[in-house]
Copies of this chain bind each other. A is one copy, B any other.
Amino acid sequence: MDLLVKKIKTEGKVYPGNILKVDGFLNHQIDPKLMNAIGDEIYRLYKEEKVTKIMTIEASGIAIALATAMKFDVPMLFAKKSQSKNISPSVYSTKVTSFTHGRVYDVMVSRDYLNSDDKVLIVDDFLANGIALKGLINLVEQAGATLVGCAIAIEKGFQSGGKLLRDSGVRIESLAVIKNMTDDGQLEFEDDAE
C-alpha cells in the first residue's frame, strides 16, 4: 500500500534491535487520513468474505480496527490485556507474552460479543513473531467463531510470525512488508512500493 510505505519511509525511525518507530502516525499520534485509507484497503482485500466482526487487541490496534469496522459496517471488538490473577468466567482468555514489555498478559474478550455465528477479521498494527495474533486466533477458536483472516498494517517479514501463521493455513494480508532492516536505519520493502 503506497501511502503507508511512503509514510514509513519518510516518517518512520529505525533503532538498533529491529525496532521501527512509527509513533508519529500509526500507534501514538495517529493520522486519520491514513487510517481511512487503511480501512479502504483492508475492505478491498476482504470484502468478498461475509465479515461480521473486526477484532483487535488494545491499545495500538484500536484505531486501525475502528477505521476498518467503519468500512465493513460491523462491530469492532478489542481484546483487553490484564495482569489480574482472577479471570472472570464471562470471558474467553488466553496468555500472551509481550515482546515489547517482556511480560505475560491475560488477553480476554467478553463471551457476550463473540460467538459461533461470527466471521471474524483480525486487524493489528504490527506482525513480527505473531504472538499477539496467535492469542487473538485462540480466542476466536474458543468462541467457535470462524476466522476469515488477518489484516496487518506493517509486517516484519524477516521475523517468523507471518510464515508460521500462513503455513498453518491462516490468510494474512499485510499492507507493508519489511524484508530487511539494518541498525543504521535502512529499510527494504517487499515488492518495494507495491
Contact = CB atoms under 8 A, between A and B. Distances in A.
Contact of A76 (B63, B77, B80): B63
Tell me what chain A mostly uses at the interface: helix, strand, loop, or mixed. mixed
Contact of A73 (B32, B62, B70, B76): B32
A109 B30 CA distance: 13
A78 B110 contact: no
Contacts of A62: 59, 62-63, 66
Interface stretch (A21-29, A165-173, A175-183): A21-29
A130 interface: no
A69 interface: yes
A194 interface: no
A12 interface: no
Contacts of A32: 66, 69-70, 73-76
Contacts of A73: 32-33
A96 to B, nearest CB: 15
Interface of A: 23-25, 28-33, 35-36, 58-59, 62-63, 66-67, 69-70, 73-78, 80, 109-110, 112-113
